Amino acid sequence: MLEAREITWKKDHKIILQDIHFHLLPGECVGLIGPNGSGKSSLLKILAFLETPTYGQLYFQGQSVPKSVPLPIRRKIAIVFQESLLLNTRVFDNVAAGLKIRGLSKGKIRERVDYWLEQFGVIHLTKQLARSLSGGEAQRVSLARAFAIEPDVLFLDEPFSALDAPTKEGLRIDLTKVFSSTQTTTVMVSHDFKDIAHLTNRALILLNGQVVAEGSPSELLRSPQKEEVERFLAHFAS
């Protein structure tokens, strides 16, 4: 579905990502985890075409991706950030916006918006203005908006980190259900191994802009492969 070969990203003479290889198969949810500043969000931005790598090549659905990424490819992906970047309109219009751009009929838009607001437990907020939502509600609407376009690849950049523990736990449960019913191909950044263990099939651990380990969450815990990985994962033991 998505592949990155030999990705290096330099900014202001600093190497932020070095020689990254990445592949994402249809239906997988892959996690990117690592300490602050290890390059997780930078890698996600490159994979989601928001930044251009200095070296290396991306492939999307088997085709190499040009530096200026064509709109039809961009429209096949959706991104949810830590802060829900909602438009200052009603919840319905926020979720509908991406569907209007993609030319869906009014009836289809209504059906999809209602379906996804229902899936994320926020259908009762349809008419509410986005700026009046709580953080948890806003993040649920952001996820509904992303799933509504039925993206070929979904990117989640720390989707829970602005939420308190009970809100986060509830949303994680609902997202797990949605993943198991939709099999949406996803890349998720988190600094919390619990999120990775609950939601992903496979995870890459980044340290200093490099991938230092890769495997299923349970494999990584069982056999961390390197001492530095073991030290990082020790924070999540118990």
Ligand X SMILES: Nc1ncnc2c1ncn2[C@@H]1O[C@H](COP(=O)(O)OP(=O)(O)OP(=O)(O)O)[C@@H](O)[C@H]1O
Which is nearest to 40 in space by CA: 200, 230, 219?
200
Residue 11 or 74: the one with the smaller Cβ distance to ligand X is: 11
Residue 208's DSSP bridge partners are none
Instruction: Work out whether 16 is an interface residue with ligand X (CB under 6 A).
Output: yes
Instruction: Work out whether 145 is an interface residue with ligand X (CB under 6 A).
Output: no
Residue 154's DSSP bridge partners are 78, 186
Q: How far is the CB of 230 from ligand X (least distance, A)?
A: 19
Residue 172 or 191: the one with the smaller Cβ distance to ligand X is: 191
Instruction: Work out whether 11 is an interface residue with ligand X (CB under 6 A).
Output: yes
- The whole-angstrom separation of Cα 215 and Cα 92 is 39
Instruction: Work out whether 41 is an interface residue with ligand X (CB under 6 A).
Output: yes
Give every CB contact of residue 180 below 8 A, 6+ residues apart in sequence: none
- The whole-angstrom separation of Cα 69 and Cα 52 is 10
Amino acid occupying residue 175: L
Instruction: Work out whether 38 is an interface residue with ligand X (CB under 6 A).
Output: yes
Please identify which residue in 39, 98, 136, 159 interacts with ligand X, judged by CB under 6 A. Answer: 39
Q: Is 187 helix (H, G, I), strand (E, B) or coil?
A: strand
Q: Which of residues 108-127 bind ligand X (CB under 6 A)?
A: none
> What is the contact mask toward ligand X in residues 165 to 204, using x (rule: CB under 6 A)?
--------------------------x-------------
Phi, psi (deg, nearest 5) at residue 21 = -115, 135
Q: How far is the CB of 168 from ligand X (least distance, A)?
A: 16
Q: Which stretch binds ligand X (CB under 6 A): 10-18, 141-149, 178-186, 210-218?
A: 10-18
Please identify which residue in 26, 27, 37, 135 interacts with ligand X, judged by CB under 6 A. Answer: 37
Residue 151 or 209: the one with the smaller Cβ distance to ligand X is: 209
- The whole-angstrom separation of Cα 126 and Cα 107 is 16
- The whole-angstrom separation of Cα 198 and Cα 236 is 13
Positions touching ligand X (CB under 6 A) are 11-12, 16, 34, 36-42, 191
